[in-house]
Structure 1
Amino acid sequence: MQASRPYPVFDGHNDTLLKLELQAGTPKDGSFIDGNPFTHIDLPRAREGGFAGGLFAMFVPSVVARNGELSFNPADPANFAEIDQQTALGLTLRLVARAERLARASKGGISIVRSTAETRAAIDAGRLAVMLHIEGAEAIDTDFVALEVLRAAGLRSLGPVWSRSNAFGHGTPMACPSSPDTGPGLTDAGKALVTACNELKIQIDLSHITEKGFWDVAKLSDAPLVASHSNAHAISPSARNLTDNQLAAIAESRGLVGLNFHTGFLRPDGRATSDTPVELMVRHLDHMLSILGEDGVAIGSDFDGCLVPKEIRDAAGLPKLTAAMEAAGYGRELIEKICWKNWLSVLERAGI
Structure 2
Amino acid sequence: MPTRPVPVFDGHNDALLRLLRTAHPRPEDGFLAGEPLCHLDLPRARAGSFAGGLFAIYVPDPHAAGAEIDAMMARPRYDVPLPPALEPGYARDVTLAMLAILLRLERASDGALAICRSAAEIEAAMARRSIAAVAHLEGAEAIGPDLRMLDVLHAAGLRSLGPVWSRPTIFGEGVPFRFPSGPDIGRGLTPAGEALVRACNRLRIMVDLSHLNERGFWDVARISTAPLVATHSNANAVCHHARNLTDAQLVRIGETRGMVGLNFATSFIRPDGRRDPATPLSMMVDHIDHLVAKVGIDGVGLGSDFDGATVPDAIGDAGGLQALVEALRGRGYDGEALEKLCYRNWIRVLRETWGG
TM bucket, shorter chain: over 0.9
What does residue 40 of structure 1 align with? 39
Is residue 325 of structure 2 the alignment partner of residue 333 of structure 1? Answer: no
CA distance in 2 between partners of 1:201 and 1:70 (Å): 39
Alpha-carbon distance, 1:179 to partner: 1.1
Asked if residue 51 in structure 1 is aligned to residue 50 in structure 2, the reply is: yes
1:247-277, CA deviations, whole angstroms, 9 ceiling, x for partnerless residues? 0000011100000000000001100010100
TM-score where L is the length of structure 1 = 0.95
Is the contact between residue 218 and residue 225 of structure 1 (CA under 8 Å) also seen in structure 2? yes
Matched residue type, 1:232: A
User: Are the equivalent residues in 2 in contact too, given 1:3–1:320 (CA < 8 A)?
Assistant: no
Matched positions, count = 348
Q: Sequence identity, in percent?
A: 52
Equivalent-residue separation in structure 2 for 1:16 and 1:223 (angstroms): 27
2:324 aligns with 321
Please say if residues 132 and 156 of structure 1, whose CA atoms lie closer than 8 Å, have aligned partners that are also in contact: yes
Secondary structure class of the residue paired with 2:90: helix
Match in the other structure for 2:75: none
Counterpart CA distance in 1 for 2:177 and 2:168 is 13
Q: Is 1:23–1:29's contact at 8 Å kept on the other side of the alignment? A: no
TM-score (norm 2): 0.94
1:297-312 equivalences in 2 (<5 Å):
297-312=300-315
Q: Distance in 2 between matches of 1:211 and 1:224?
A: 17
Output one character per residue of 1:272-305: Cα deviation in whole Å (capped at 9) or x when no partner.
0101000100000000001111100000000000
- How far apart are residue 333 of structure 1 and its match? 1.1
Partner of 2:268: 265
Change (3 A) 1:162 1:105: same
Q: 1:292 aligns to what?
A: 295
Q: Quick one: distance in 2 between partners of 1:40 and 1:47? A: 12
Identify if the C-alpha distance between structure 1 residues 203 and 74 changes in structure 2 by more than 3 Å, giving closer, same or farther: farther
- Does residue 194 (structure 1) correspond to residue 219 (structure 2)? The answer is no
Gaps spanning 5+ residues in structure 2: where? 73-78
Query: Of residues 149, 159, 168 in structure 1, which corresponds to 2:152?
Result: 149
What's the counterpart of residue 168 of structure 2? 165
Q: Which runs of structure 2 are paired with 1:107-256 in the superposition (5 Å)?
A: 107-256=110-259
SS at match of 1:139: coil
- C-alpha change, 1:220 and 1:130, in structure 2 (3 Å) is same
Q: Distance in 1 between matches of 2:86 and 2:96?
A: 15
Uncovered stretches (5+) of structure 1, i.e. residues with no partner: none
Q: Indicate conservation of the 8 Å contact 1:132/1:157, yes or no.
A: yes
Change (3 A) 1:130 1:50: same
**1:102, distance to aligned residue in structure 2 (A):** 0.9
Rounded to whole Å, the distance in 2 between the matches of 1:120 and 1:162 is 29
CA distance in 2, matches of 1:4, 1:70: 41
Partner of 2:178, secondary structure, is coil
Output the aligned Cα RMSD: 2.1
Structure 1's consecutive aligned runs of 4 or more residues displaced over 3 angstroms after TM superposition are 63-66, 69-79
Give the structure 2 partner of residue 275 of structure 1.
278
Q: Which amino acid aligns with 2:44?
A: R
Mapped contact 1:122–1:128 kept (Cα < 8 A): yes
